[in-house]
Amino acid sequence: MSFGWKTSVWILGGGVLAIVVSLIATSIIISRRARVWAEDWLSHEFNSKVEMSAFRVSIPFPTVKCQGENLELQFQGRQDLPPLLSVRRFTIVTSLRGLLRNPRRIQYVELDGLQMNVPPREEGNRGAATRNLARKFTGVRFDEIHSENATLRILTRNPEKDPLEFGIRHLYLNSHGVDGALDFHATLFNPKPPGDISSDGTFGPWNNETPSLTPVSGRYDFANADLSVFPGIAGTLTSNGTFQGVIEQINIDGTTNTPDFRVTRAGHPLDLSTSFHATVDGTDGDTYLQPVEAHFGSTILSAHGSIAGAKGMKGKTITLELSGSRARIEDLLLLAVKESPAMTGPIQLKTKFILTPGPEQIPERLNLNGSFEMNSVHFTRSAVQQKFDNLSKRGQGKPKEVVNPEEADSADDVASKMNGTFQLAHGILSLSEVHFVIPGVEVLLAGTYALNPETLDLHGSLRMQARLSQTTTGFRSFLLKLADPFFSKQGNGALVPIKISGSAQHPVYGLDLGHKSEASSRK
């Protein structure tokens, strides 16, 4: 019995020693081969030349811990591009068991100073790249990858354009399966307009032949974006939506809400909301909107176009084809004038909208070229509305129905019709072929409206059903009979040259005899 007990002890001790020796040997092998394996794996998966200044392995059993410094992956070894990926310091934590599994399992990766520069796809390389989209992170799964203050840059083919850049405050990734795709959660700070973005989604599988064709999808929330960094506007924007595509071309469907949006020069706050579908082109950083629908007040506007850079110009130019079949003139005026809107009523609008970048206020940078139609316009100031009501009665030859403003009944307000074409450039709105109609009166106008200081300079003609002498009574009517032949319209009614000047809130109407020959030519 004594011999058997001693034998068992020796056998047990030998087994323990064998295990310890085996673990030490394994540790030595892992330590020696870890760097080689890591460099080979990174080179293979990312199609890059791998460099790092230091790599250390420690094995506090049963954990394996690797640390390294100044890691750089040079895509395809190309020196004409910044590193595909660079990391100032990294830490990898796993277990001996995890390293022996298939696929290998990495428990935790910490990346400090992560920068990724995604190179643009070269022309003519799309077919080969597309076939490689399903590439996997061969033989490795990650439980968690964590990075603070990372930077993602999508490089452009155009050397004159800055890369599309995202500063990522916090980034968490993990393998959700064996296909090589990574689930992610990221929080970002958007520099312009400044605000916080939170995003969750899926990244990969990595495309090691053409990285810009790596798939990405998910959803985002953008909060507290300060629009006042853009000259001419202000407000706090929030947005949320979904995205999908590949790095170089991402499709986004989302909404925005700005409850206090305002054009700073006008100063009227509006509750502005939009819904949009957009494509962000990572090869040049441009965004294509197709379409956008904006809601504010009782107005709905639709637009499609682009936010794109131009050669030799810093910043992006917004170019839109804009239309509004469900719009209100009073809502639009709140964006343009300081005073309360002078008119109210539905408007149909169609225009090309171009807003160039620059420090100037929006009216100086905005270009419009379009047309409008309003079929039921009323003036908000009773004195102005009453002038048009009385003009209508005089134009119909009913001067006895003209009333003083104090006696006016708002229920009897005459609705006006108006249509025309316009161009806006350098803060000057040029109007042409403006057609204004109220019962008994038709006005044709052309001229300008200066947004600053909101002054009018319009000229044209006024046509009435009645002759001049029929627009008034008494002795004045008798005198005007002498002028009827000079202001007649084919023997019936009157054609009078007119001008409108002064401010938009207090316009001045008068005869424009200097333009009489022009008005007469329109008979």
Cα–Cα distance, 156 to 146 (Å, whole number)? 27
CA 304 to chain centre: 11
The DSSP call for residue 230 is S
Amino acid identity, position 464: M
> Phi/psi class of residue 450: alpha, beta or left (left: φ > 0; alpha: ψ in -120 to 50)?
beta
Q: What is the pLDDT of residues 162-173, one digit of tens each?
A: 777 888 999 998
Of 224-238, 289-303, 359-373, 440-454, which one has max mean pLDDT? 289-303
- What is the pLDDT, as a whole number, of residue 300? 94
Q: What angle do CA 222, 223, 229 make, to 5 degrees?
A: 95
Residue 141 lies in a domain: no
HSE at residue 443, side-chain half, CA atoms within 13 A, is 23
- Look at residues 186, 177, 194 and name the one whose alpha carbon lies nearest to residue 146: 186
The band of 237, judged by pLDDT with boundaries at 50, 70 and 90, is very high
Q: Which domain holds residue 487?
A: 322-520
Segment 417-433 shows an average pLDDT of: 88
Residue 108 lies in a domain: no
From residue 441, how far is each of 315, 396, 437, 471 by CA, in Å? Answer: 48, 8, 6, 11
User: 468 — phi, psi (to 5°)?
Assistant: -60, -40
Higher pLDDT, 304 or 336: 304
Q: What is the pLDDT of residues 354-363, one digit of tens each?
A: 888 877 777 7
Residue 460 lies in a domain: yes
Q: Where are the alpha helices (DSSP H) in 371-458?
A: 382-395
Residue 12 lies in a domain: no
Residue 116 lies in a domain: no
Q: Tally the residues of the chain.
A: 523
Higher pLDDT, 395 or 126: 395
Cα–Cα distance, 261 to 247 (Å, whole number)? 32
Segment 383-401 shows an average pLDDT of: 84
User: 327 — phi, psi (to 5°)?
Assistant: -125, 160
Residue 16 lies in a domain: no
The string of DSSP codes covering 390-403 is HHHHHHTT-GGG--
- Is the predicted pLDDT of residue 134 greater than 50, yes or no? no
Residue 280 lies in a domain: no
The string of DSSP codes covering 501-519 is EEESSSEEEEE-GGGHHHH
Cα–Cα distance, 444 to 452 (Å, whole number)? 24
- What is the pLDDT, as a whole number, of residue 21? 44
Q: What is the pLDDT of residues 265-280, one digit of tens each?
A: 788 999 999 999 999 8
Q: Are 248 and 283 in contact (CB under 8 A)?
A: yes
Q: What is the pLDDT of residues 188-215, one digit of tens each?
A: 888 778 888 999 999 888 888 888 898 9
CA 477 to chain centre: 61
Cα–Cα distance, 258 to 168 (Å, whole number)? 24
Cα–Cα distance, 334 to 354 (Å, whole number)? 19
Mean residue pLDDT of the chain comes to 81
Residue 472 lies in a domain: yes
Residues paired with 113 in a beta bridge = none
Q: Which distant-in-sequence residues (6+ apart) come within 8 Å of 108 by Cβ?
A: 91, 92, 93, 94, 143, 144, 145, 146
- Is the predicted pLDDT of residue 305 greater than 60, yes or no? yes
Count up the domains in the chain and report the number. 1
Q: What is the pLDDT of residues 471-497, one digit of tens each?
A: 888 888 878 788 878 887 666 788 888
